[in-house]
Amino acid sequence: MANICVCARFRPLNSREDGEAICITRSDSQSFSIKDEKDKQYTFTFDRVFYEDSEQADVYEHVGRPIVRDAVNSINGTIITYGQTGAGKTYTMEGGNILEADNRKKGLLPRVVDELFSAINICGETTAYEIKLSMVEIYMERVRDLFDLSKDNIQIKEHKGNGILLSGVTEILILDGEEALTNLCRGISNRAVGETQMNAESSRSHCIYIFTVQKQVTNEKRVSSGKLVLVDLAGSEKVDMTGAKGQVLEEAKSINTSLSALGKVITALKSKSPHIPYRDSKLTRVLEDALGGGSQTALLCCCSPSLSSSSESVSILRFGASAKHIKASSRVSIKEDIDRKLDISTVKDLKLQKILKKLREKLDAETLDVILEEFVMDGLLSDPTTSMISSHEAIITSQTISSWKEATQRLVNTILELKREINVLKEDNQVTKEECKIMRQVRKRVKAKLRQANLHTIYNESTGTEFLRQKPSAA
C-alpha cells in the first residue's frame, strides 16, 4: 500500500488581489514556505508543488495520468481537488470550458477523456472495453443526479465486493471522447452555482464525475472493471470574506459542515482511530473507498498565493499534510468467471423463492425500490449502479430494470387480488359453517320427533337417500 498522492497548486493573483503581497517562498518542486498575516512561517513538503507559472498539462501528467492508466487496467482511482473558494479548483478540473479548444487551458476532465479513449484504442481486438459516465452533485446534503434532475435524493449504498455505490444513478454509455465531453457539458450546466465577493461563479456543491471502465479479454471469458472518480469539492468559505447572505449563506454552512466532516475523517485515519466517521456526511460516505484504502487516490490542494488568503491557505495545506499519512491500495476489481456464474442458476432459483417470500412480508410497508434492493442484495439481480458484471449480465440495462419494476408491480397487483379473493372465500366459508350448524340442529330435532312417532330412518346405500319406516311392534 502506498500513501495518498498529495500535491499543492497556487494560482496567479486575480484582479481582486492585484498588487497584494505574495505569501509563499519557493524551495523546489516539492517544498515551499508560507507566511500568514501575523508573519508566522510554515514549511510544507508534498509529492509535487505546482506554482503560479505551472501549466495544466503539468498537473495532469503528475496527478491524472497514472490514475487513468490504472483505471484502464481495472484499478479504482480517485482525484480530488480541495481548497478555498476561488482558489482555482474548478479551473483545474474543467479548464476555462469543458469544450476548451486551446490545449494549454484544458483541465483534468477533458484530458482524462482523451487518455481513456487513447488507451483503449490501442489495445487491439482481443480486448473489449465499455465506458459509462455518471455525474452527481452533493448539494445541501442531498445527492442529485446531474443527468436526471428528477433524481434529487440518490441513496448511497454499500455493495459487498464493489464498495460504495449510488443507487439508481444515471449511467450513460459513451462511445467516443466527443460524446463524453458533450454529456459532461450538459451535466455541468445543471450544477448549483452562486455569486460571492470572492468568486462570481462560486460552486455551491461538491461535484463528482464517475467513469466506469469495463474490460473483457475475449479468450479469458471474464470481465473486470475499474472506476475512475473525479471530485471537485466546493470551496471552504469564511463568511466575512465572501459576504454570503440568505440562501448563499445556508449553502456555505452546508459546505463548511461537510468539509469539516471530511477533516475529521482525515484526522481519524491519520491517528488510526478504531472508528472512522464516514457516515457523518454524504461527502465522506461517497469518498469512503477513496480514503479508506479501496482506491488509488490523489489530492490536489488549490490555494491563492496572496497574503490576505494566507490563513485559509495554511488550513488547506495542513489538511493536505494530514492526508499524506493515509495509505491507499491499488485494488483490482473483482473478476467473475462467466461459465461458473452460469452453473449456479439452480442456486439463484432457490434465492428467488426466498425473495418472493420477502416480497409478501414487505408488501404493505415497503416500496418497489426496496423490493429491487432485495433482489440486488440476494444476488438475483446485479445492481444497476455498478458495472462489475459478467458479459451475460451486461444486458441488464435501464430498460431491463424498468421491465423488472413493471413485472414486480404486476406481481404485487396479483398478490393483492389473491388476498381479496381469499377474504371473500373466508366470508363464504363462514356462512357455510353457519348453515351447516343450523342443518345439524334441524336434523337433531327431526330425529327426536321421529322417535316420538315410533318411526325410524332407513339409509339406502345404492341411492344415497333416506326414507321412513314404521318400527316393528314388540312380540
CA distances (Å), origin 92, targets 178, 232, 307: 20, 9, 22
Q: 46 φ, ψ to 5°? A: -130, 180
Amino acid making up residue 244? A
Q: pTM above the 0.85 mark?
A: no
Question: CB of 68 within 8 A of CB of 116?
Answer: yes
Produce one character per residue of 262-284: b if its CB has 16 or more CB atoms within 10 Å, e if not. Answer: bbbbbebbeeeeeebebebbbbb
Instruction: Give 306's DSSP letter.
Output: B
Cβ-based neighbours of 396, under 8 Å, separated by 6 or more:
381, 382, 384, 389
Instruction: Give 60's DSSP letter.
Output: I
Question: CB of 288 within 8 A of CB of 326?
Answer: no
Helix (H) or strand (E) holding 119: helix 108-121
Residue 3 to residue 98: CA distance in whole angstroms: 30
Going through 195-321 in order, the beta strands assigned E by DSSP cover 202-203, 206-217, 222-232, 296-303
Length of the chain: 475
Nearest partner of 397 among 130, 158, 155, 149, judged by Cα: 130
Residue 460 to residue 428: CA distance in whole angstroms: 32
pLDDT of res. 246: 67
Residue 182 to residue 186: CA distance in whole angstroms: 6
Going through 425-464 in order, the beta strands assigned E by DSSP cover 455-460
Which three cell numbers mark 47?
Answer: 509529492
pLDDT of res. 416: 81
Which three cell numbers mark 244?
Answer: 454570503
User: What is the DSSP pairing of strand 77-83 with strand 222-232?
Assistant: parallel
CA distances (Å), origin 179, targets 100, 110, 175, 369, 392: 14, 11, 7, 31, 26
pLDDT of res. 371: 61
Residue 88 to residue 17: CA distance in whole angstroms: 14
Residue 380 to residue 181: CA distance in whole angstroms: 35
Cβ-based neighbours of 434, under 8 Å, separated by 6 or more:
none
Residue 337 to residue 220: CA distance in whole angstroms: 9
Produce one character per residue of 86-97: b if its CB has 16 or more CB atoms within 10 Å, e if not. Answer: bbbbbbbbbbee
Per residue of the chain (475 residues), what is the pLDDT tens digit?
577 999 999 999 988 888 899 999 999 999 999 999 889 999 999 999 999 999 999 999 999 999 999 898 888 999 999 998 889 998 999 998 888 778 899 999 999 999 999 988 887 777 888 999 999 999 989 999 999 999 999 999 988 777 889 999 999 999 999 999 999 999 999 987 765 555 545 677 899 999 999 988 877 777 888 899 999 998 876 665 555 566 777 887 888 899 999 999 999 998 888 999 999 999 999 999 888 877 889 999 999 999 999 999 999 999 999 999 887 665 555 455 444 333 334 334 444 555 555 555 555 555 556 566 655 655 555 554 444 333 334 334 445 566 676 777 788 778 888 888 888 888 888 888 888 888 888 888 887 877 776 666 665 666 666 666 666 655 4
Residue 404 to residue 381: CA distance in whole angstroms: 10
pLDDT of res. 469: 62
| Sign of the CA dihedral with 264 first, then 268, 273, and 278 last | positive
